[in-house]
Amino acid sequence: MIFSINFALLLLHEMDAIRAKEWRMFIILRDMEDKRAFKVFTILHLPLYTFLLFSFISQQLLSFVILDLFLIFHSIAHFFFEKHPNNNFKNVYSRLIIYPMGLLSLLHLLGLMYF
């Protein structure tokens, strides 16, 4: 259940990333016109989601561990990029999506290791 909640939070975060124009924080995409950067940013999620969904089916335990580690790192990265001038996640709503992912991932990972 924890993993399912976390995956749903990840999908919510990616939807919020469109609103926040997260591509403006990435080196290659930030110099593109917003219309083009949006298309590149969103289309890059196709292989990401495909890989994630396939791995959940074929290598469930391994994909749990990889996604948990990624979401822990992801939350830490967002914390360190709080002062980035193009960071538009500086609101309670976005933070209530981002930071619980890291915490839930840590709990899920500990649960996988000890139960």
pLDDT tens, the chain, 115 aa long: 999 999 999 999 999 999 999 999 999 999 999 999 999 999 999 999 999 999 988 988 999 999 999 999 999 999 999 999 999 999 999 999 999 999 999 999 999 998 7
Q: What is the pLDDT of residue 59?
A: 87
Structure tokens at 100: 């619980």
Helix (H, G, I), strand (E, B) or coil at 84: coil
Q: Of 99, 106, 72, 90, nearest to 12 (Cα)?
A: 99
Q: Helix 2-19 crosses helix 34-43 at what angle (to 10 degrees)?
A: 160
Instruction: State the pLDDT at residue 73.
Output: 97
Q: Return the pLDDT at 85.
A: 95
pLDDT attached to residue 60: 87
Residue 68 one-letter amino acid: D
**pTM assigned to the model:** 0.90
Spatial CA neighbour of 52 closest among 60, 42, 44: 60
